[in-house]
């Protein structure tokens, strides 16, 4: 009996190629992988796609990412215990694009229907958030609360659930590992200011401004997650190990 053919996410295909090279000994333990730019050019994909694939491989225990140094093969077989296989997840950029489509429309509608108690609820979350820049797990929980609070203004249970479920994909080993490289007190302060701009636009009852503020926030989130693992090495091309990943 044939199984249905499914379209596979690009970063999974990239991870499969790198994983195959490691498991077959073409990339040895301790060896440094080529830089993001080199891998992207060789495989014909974007650098964010490479980044997503490398994070998936690190969650599996196959590679170790050293910020400012590069990505190194950690072992030749994946870890036996992975709490949630990366192939079960959307990549962060796919997820953020979905959130942008949905949450921009929600912010726009929220500005049309906002009530004083809704503004108070947003303010309460922001007050707590301003005290937690150095506590990432608390900040993530409050981030979720802020976005679901906005969804709640619209008064549609289905939208509440969708926003919550999309955000909850961050509470996985894959996203936790990704966030550990790109989130910091400084990035949380940036996100806080973006949240405050969304709040102000909704409180003012300005749908266009609210939509634009949410769009800006989620776009900036993509930029934060797009920072390179090996930015400091981009001028040191001669130090990268040449390895063909094409079959």
> Which pLDDT value is given to residue 183?
83
Expressed in percent and rounded to 5, the helix, strand and coil fractions of the chain are 65, 5, 30
Provide the percentage of residues in the chain whose pLDDT is more than 90: 48
Residues 6 or more apart whose CB falls under 8 angstroms from that of 70 comprise 32, 33, 35, 229, 230, 233, 240
Round to whole Å and give the CA distance between 165 and 188: 21
User: Which residues on adjacent β-strands are paired with residue 136?
Assistant: none
Q: Under a CB-based contact definition with an 8 Å cutoff, are residues 63 and 72 in contact?
A: yes
Tell me: pLDDT of 246 over 60.
no
Could you identify the residue written with the tokens 């619209």? 154
| pLDDT for res 88 | 56
- Average pLDDT, whole number, for the chain? 83
In angstroms, how far is the first alpha carbon of the chain from the final one? 29
What pLDDT digit, counting tens, does each position of 82-109 carry? 544 545 566 777 788 899 999 999 999 9
Is residue 247 scored above 60 in pLDDT? no
How confident is the model at residue 239, as a pLDDT? 39
Domains of the chain (ranges; CATH) run 10-85+229-239 (1.10.10.10), 87-225 (1.20.120.530)
What is the pLDDT, as a whole number, of residue 240?
Answer: 40
For residue 32, pLDDT over 60 is answered with yes
pLDDT at residue number 170: 77
What pLDDT is recorded for position 158?
A: 95
Per-residue pLDDT of 71-81, as tens digits, reads 999 987 766 55
The whole-angstrom separation of Cα 49 and Cα 11 is 5
Which of the listed ranges 3-17, 156-170, 201-215 does the model predict with the highest average pLDDT? 201-215
Nearest alpha carbon to residue 150 among 207, 202, 213: 202
- To the nearest 10 degrees (0 to 180), the angle between helices 92-113 and 136-154 is 50
What are 15-26's pLDDT values in tens digits?
A: 899 999 998 888
∠ Cα 60 144 50 (to 5°): 35
pTM, to two decimals: 0.70
Give the tens place of pLDDT for each residue, 109-156.
Answer: 999 999 999 999 999 999 999 999 999 889 999 999 999 999 999 999
The answer on pLDDT for 174 being more than 90 is: no
């Amino acid at each position: 009996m044939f199984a249905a053919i499914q379209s596979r996410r690009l970063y999974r295909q990239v991870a499969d190629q790198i994983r195959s090279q490691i498991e077959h000994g073409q990339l040895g333990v301790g060896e440094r992988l080529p830089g993001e730019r080199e891998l992207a050019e060789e495989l014909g994909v974007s650098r964010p796609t490479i980044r997503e694939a490398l994070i998936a491989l690190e969650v599996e225990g196959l590679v170790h990412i050293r910020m400012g140094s590069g990505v190194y093969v950690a072992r030749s077989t994946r870890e036996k215990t992975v709490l949630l296989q990366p192939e079960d997840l959307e990549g962060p950029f796919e997820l953020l694009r979905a959130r942008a489509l949905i949450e921009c429309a929600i912010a726009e509608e929220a500005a049309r229907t906002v009530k004083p108690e809704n503004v108070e609820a947003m303010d309460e979350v922001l007050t707590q958030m301003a005290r937690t820049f150095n506590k990432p797990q608390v900040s993530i929980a409050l981030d979720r609360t802020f976005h679901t609070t906005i969804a709640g203004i619209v008064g549609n249970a289905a939208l509440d659930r969708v926003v919550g479920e999309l955000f909850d994909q961050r509470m996985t080993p894959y996203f936790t590992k990704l966030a550990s490289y790109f989130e910091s007190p400084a990035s949380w302060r940036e996100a806080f200011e973006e949240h405050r701009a969304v709040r102000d636009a909704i409180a003012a009852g300005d749908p266009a401004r609210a939509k634009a503020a949410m769009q800006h926030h989620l776009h900036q989130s993509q930029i934060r997650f797009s920072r390179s693992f090996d930015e400091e090495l981009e001028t040191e091309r001669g130090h990268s190990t040449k390895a063909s990943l094409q079959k």
